[in-house]
Chain A
């Protein structure tokens, strides 16, 4: 949307250059978000219990976890809405508790819940917010990007819930942010709107926008994110490339079949060879090869965390 790519997606170099750091002449592994030992206590409840993670410039990072796990608390600390109880946080090099207007101008924020009365029309609202930023996107391009051309002249209060959510997304990107926070952005979207949203987010990433996404939809995380973390009971239980979350073991394919009426299963990194050997002894009954999906791995990790005694006293 309007901004040149800046050289074939050089935002991905961070993936290759991890560990090389400052010595690579400007092409550093720059972090837009750095979190160390982050804790947040609400009176008796410790909602966030020591998080460590980084988000690299240009990547899309997904923060996953069940309700009440501490996702929104974490994202609101990064956005500057909440003060942390302990730990170190840097967002675009600044402590969010002391982020000024120039810092805010570099962020885009799509909050989890909105309920504004919305007497302005979609175009009026976007034009107004565009005026707050030093280098905004074109209002009509953004309206088109979120698929609200037909509703541009409609008051926001008259839109459906999903359409209002698209206005939220539009307001989040109107200021051409370097770092975009998306807190459960596609809640209330129909499947088509969700696909359209994914296309939009990929185009933002291709322009070099760094994105922090929280979502309940694991297919969405799989589709959009480069890396991610799974948070449960205020702690990170997994962190890494989205395709590697949970570790290699969790992703070993499972071969299932039925032998003499008894269900059998075998985890193997070479399911083809295994099935070939199995088939050599005769056609196996009800044969399946299963690759654990992100959802399978997520449920396993979150389930383990919930069962862990270390989480006693965490919020329900």
Chain B
């Protein structure tokens, strides 16, 4: 029954890991292009932290958020830059991924891909690639605007940038993977933003993104510390705020190991969740 005939020329249907990775990398470009063509997504996930940074910097321009070891005033812009970098990672990773995949599930994109010779792994390489590219661009724009428009002093030592790099990459990847897991939560593409945005908003308020973390009651800090965003924001503060700010943190010091442990656990849990819950389409019965 399967004998090939003249009308079925023998073809190389390689389906190995190399092909999976190659197609995944092809999809990164395709996904990034699609991302920047969706105006609403670009605003709510890419530009939103920049808008918030601008609002905070302007609104609290007369505020005094602390002192550097040299006695310089820490401005609102400097104080909020790390928070907005953390928010950006959450929005570009979790919010973007969860709503994007939920939309693609409901509008038939996933159904079409399910019928094509594309591995879900390639699809995820494309998605995570999209998140990494857009999140890095977003971080670069945030840092550039903070430095140029609001004269935020950037860290001069390499250690701070190394901290920023690994915390940011770990945080963005964790958020993206969790977004894939959460994408199966909304029952339709239309309800996706309504389901995902409240989660993201509450998380930002309790994790020290909009409100100074040290001002929250201790039980709320402990609750927030269960989730990766508070740790991501903590890591960003460690990278971008003067050393003296460590005294405001729980324990009075930067806890970089805690970031790696909590984000690492969520990353692994997210991978398992995504692996278990992801379906191209909902099969019935």
A residues within 8 Å of B by Cβ?
3, 6-7, 10-11, 26, 28, 30-31, 34, 40-43, 57-58, 79-83, 85, 90, 92-93, 100-102, 104-107, 109, 111, 113-117, 119-120, 124, 128-129, 131-135, 155, 171, 175, 178, 207-209
Contacts between the two chains (Cβ within 8 Å), count:
122
CB <8 Å contact, A83 and B13: no
Candidates B27, B109, B284; contact of A42 at CB < 8 Å: B284
Judge whether B281 and A132 touch: CB under 8 Å.
no
Question: Is there an interface contact between A111 and B112, defined as CB atoms closer than 8 Å?
Answer: yes
A93-B1, A131-B26 given; name 20 further pairs at CB < 8 Å.
A3-B9, A6-B7, A10-B5, A26-B5, A34-B1, A40-B285, A42-B284, A92-B2, A93-B2, A101-B13, A106-B8, A106-B13, A109-B112, A120-B30, A124-B30, A128-B27, A129-B116, A132-B118, A134-B12, A135-B12
Given known contacts A101-B118, A107-B115, A117-B103, A132 and B23 CB-to-CB distance under 8 angstroms: yes
Q: B215 at the A/B interface (Cβ < 8 Å)?
A: no
Query: Which B residues from 13 to 45 make CB contacts under 8 A with A?
Result: 13-15, 23, 26-27, 30, 33-34, 37-38
Known contacts A57-B7, A134-B13, A208-B6; A117/B285 CB under 8 A: no
With A6-B6, A7-B6, A100-B15 as known contacts, state yes or no: A119 contacts B1, CB within 8 Å.
no
Report A221 CB to chain B, min CB distance, Å.
Answer: 22
Secondary structure of the A side of the interface? loop
Contact B117 A101 (CB under 8 A): yes
Contacts of B118 in A (CB 8 A): 101, 132
A105 touches B108 (CB 8 A): no
Interface secondary structure of B, over-half rule: loop
Give CA–CA (A111, B117) in the complex, Å.
16
Chain A contacts of B114 at CB under 8 A? 80-81
Query: Would B13 and A115 count as touching, CB distance under 8 A?
Result: no
Which partner residue on chain A sits nearest B285 by CB separation? A42
Q: Report 15 cross-chain contacts, Cβ distance below 8 Å, ordered by A residue.
A: A30-B3, A57-B7, A83-B283, A92-B2, A104-B117, A105-B117, A111-B111, A111-B112, A113-B108, A117-B109, A129-B116, A131-B23, A134-B13, A155-B37, A175-B116
A43, B285: Cβ atoms closer than 8 Å: yes
CB-contact partner of A135 in B9, B283, B284, under 8 A:
B9
A109 cross-chain contacts in B, Cβ below 8 A:
112, 115
Instruction: For the complex, give the distance between the alpha carbons of A171 and B117 in Å.
Output: 13
Give bound CA distance, A182 to B7, whole Å: 19
Least distance between A184 CB and chain B CB atoms (Å): 15
What are the residues of chain A within 8 A of B108 when measuring CB–CB?
111, 113-116
Q: Shortest Cβ distance from B39 into chain A, in angstroms?
A: 10
Question: How near does chain A come to B119, taking the closest CB pair, in angstroms?
Answer: 6
Q: Specify the chain B residue showing the minimal Cβ separation from A9.
A: B7
| Cβ-defined contact, B111 with A82, below 8 A | no
Asked whether B64 is an interface residue with its Cβ less than 8 Å from the other chain, the reply is no
B110 nearest in chain A by CB position: A116
Q: Chain A contacts of B38 at CB under 8 A?
A: 117, 119
Over the window 152-195 of chain B, the binary record of Cβ atoms lying under 8 Å from chain A Cβ atoms (1 yes, 0 no) is 00000000000000000000000000000000000000000000
- B107 at the A/B interface (Cβ < 8 Å)? yes
Cross-chain contact of A104 among B3, B7, B12, B115 (Cβ < 8 A): B115
The minimal Cβ–Cβ distance linking B134 to chain A, given in whole angstroms, is: 14
Task: State the 5 A-B residue pairs at the shortest beta-carbon distance, nearest first.
Answer: A208-B7, A93-B2, A6-B6, A105-B117, A119-B37
A26 to B2, CA, bound (A): 11
Whether the pair B1, A105 counts as a contact (CB closer than 8 A) is: no
B33 proximity list for chain A (CB < 8 A) = 119-120, 124
Q: Which residue of A lies closest to B116 (CB)?
A: A132
B25 to chain A, nearest CB (A): 11
Q: How far is the CA of A41 from the CA of B116 in the complex (A)?
A: 26
